[in-house]
Chains A and B, each alone.
Chain A
Amino acid sequence: MKGFRIVLKEALFNRLPRSAYLWIGIIALIILPWVVGASGGNYWVRVLDFALLYIVLALGLNVVVGFAGLLDLGYIAFYALGAYSFALLASPHLPQQFETIAAAFPEGMHFSPWIVAVFSIILAALFGIILGFPTLQLRGDYLAIVTLGFGEIIRIFMNNLDRPFNLTNGPKGITAIDPIQLFGISFAKPLDLGFIQIPGLYLVFYLFVLLAISVAIVCLHLQNSRIGRAWVAIREDEIAAKAMGINTRNMKLLAFAIGASFAGVAGVLFSAFQGFVSPESFTLWESIVVLAMVVLGGIGHIPGVILGAVLLAIFPEVLRGIAQPLQQALFGHVIIDVEIIRQLIYGLALILIMLYRPGGIWQKGGNNS
């Protein structure tokens, strides 16, 4: 097995110069939505777009859980903050509810997603610190419980802030959110380049790829820096980290803030991409899914986390696609509801991976399974 691996590695990596692989990667990413769109339709391109958002989320959570070792079960709350920030600042909801706002913005509120993104980075980072402060002394299970509570509090606020004044529109959510725009190009409709028309979904894909790559590079740079080493030191042994002169309080707050800010940006793009947000998108289940991506892919290992996010974002959709036809072919009719079988197989896959690769599918160092 090992010999085979080495041969495979040689064949894959040692034949061509590195720049060639870079170009192959770029071209592959450019044609990917076209191939997927042509063979599976727009639905699958959407799945890919969401997978890229999950990569950003998982990388952000990896900073908190993977690098600094702080178990955070309420991470999706920061995603919600970003999503609702944009939903409120770029939809007719607030002007409809409050006359003063309607008067201040006679043309309607249409903040640019990029301005809101910067705003949400700051807002989410601030909330990350607010969450971090009371939990500085907590570790492991206790920290997990407090962060879980925090995540639920944010969601419940979104769910109930339609009274006494209607800020979030409650469980009905906010609709008619502006689409993503960049240099005057709307990502909601196809871009006509004269010789070719690029559908909006494909544009979103390219944008999200750029975002995911930037976030991955930021994570990589942080990991191989004084800051990243301090985080890992805290994860490995907090007292020893202090004895190295590391201000563990500031470093932990920094981890919370940076992880949260990634989720804030992802939230803004999510809300602009989907055009609709409701508290339903930010349940505990979502937090757990993102955590599963981190743990399953390879906790603390950036390529592993990316792989985990892609697999767990796409796998359920694949199951959704094959569960029904497969049953029909095997038994002639549908025995188990598709949703149930999807959850079953999903859970089973998680258990199997954790049993056979407890460090994650693609863990640091590679071959130590």
Chain B
Amino acid sequence: MMEHLLLDVTDVSKRFGGIHALDSVGLKVPHGSIVGLIGPNGAGKTTFFNVITGLYPADSGMFLFDGKFYVPESVSEVTQSGLARTFQNIRLFGEMSVLENVMVGCHCRSSAGVIGAIFRFPSTKREERSIRDKSLQLLAYVGLSEYAAMEARNLSYGHQRRLEIARALATEPKLLALDEPAAGMNATEKLELRELLLRIRADGKTILLIEHDVSLVMGICDSLTVLDYGKVIASGKPADVRVHPEVIRAYLGQGAA
């Protein structure tokens, strides 16, 4: 069973002062799947993302990624190991062009140093060309080719979210962790996003998804984990989770259950 899991996190706890933001949270993400992490506002979803990607230090927990134990301490090292993320509040490099944003994503898969950058050796030039080509391909992949030269901050909201995904893909992740990618999108954009996510999965990537949009989550996720007040209250196939009494209580209130 173990070898089929890309991410296996158990017993993660995180306190902020007196608040137990995460209380023994566990999550398993099998290779090639789309796993959804849902829950009401303030349930601890983003905190969980921040902990597994090394942005916040965990108080406790076991972290297994791609068959190796790791301690999420450094965001950049987590990304280098193949776990890339996007942010709920979009964090693009606003004054850089759309293409440059993706090129930054290629940073950890390229190697030119200062000397190479200054003297532009043939090998540096070759690497630079391949970074550019790869980034242009990724822009085409998410459908942003026509905006390549535009400053990222001038993109529409939905396009900014897609650019974040392209940028994360540029780091060549095994696991793509998306924090509410559909937030602020209209119905058409959500449909396009759904297609994009399915395509990414079909191309061999695994996706961990925080999302509020229930229809999107139910439609594409292979399994769901539901958080409420920092605890896992249900986990399993979308159809089962949907009718779980705890989930209904968390979303609709005590009386509904």
Contact = CB atoms under 8 A, between A and B. Distances in A.
B76 A248 contact: yes
Interface in A225-252: 225-230, 232-233, 236-237, 239-248
A254 interface: yes
Contacts of B95: 232, 236
Given A245-B79, A245-B171, A240 B87 contact: yes
Interface of B: 53, 55, 74-76, 79-80, 84-85, 87, 91-96, 100, 103-110, 112-114, 116-120, 124, 127-128, 131, 167-168, 170-171
Given A245-B76, A254-B114, A233 B120 contact: no
Contacts of B167: 244
A218 interface: yes
A309 B232 CA distance: 60
B117 A242 contact: no
Contact of A227 (B74, B114, B131): B114
B120 A221 contact: yes
Contacts, number: 99
Contacts of B76: 242-248
Interface in A200-241: 218, 221-222, 225-230, 232-233, 236-237, 239-241
A258 interface: yes
Contact of B107 (A222, A236, A244, A258): A244
B19 to A, nearest CB: 22
A244 B91 CA distance: 11
A225 B117 contact: yes
Contacts of A258: 114
A2 B100 CA distance: 28
Contact of A230 (B107, B118, B127): B107
Interface in A269-297: none
B110 A242 contact: no
B3 to A, nearest CB: 26
A236 B96 contact: yes
Contacts of A239: 55, 75, 87, 91
A215 to B, nearest CB: 11
A30 B109 CA distance: 45
A185 B170 CA distance: 53
A159 B27 CA distance: 62
Nearest to B101: A233
A335 B171 CA distance: 66
Given A233-B104, A246-B107, A226 B128 contact: yes
A236 B100 CA distance: 12
A242 B109 CA distance: 14
**Residue among A229, A245, A248, A254 with most chain B CB within 10 A:** A245
B108 A228 contact: no
Contact of B118 (A221, A241, A247): A221
19 contacts: A221-B119, A222-B118, A225-B116, A226-B112, A227-B113, A232-B95, A236-B92, A236-B95, A237-B92, A240-B91, A242-B75, A243-B75, A243-B91, A244-B79, A244-B105, A244-B107, A245-B107, A246-B104, A246-B107
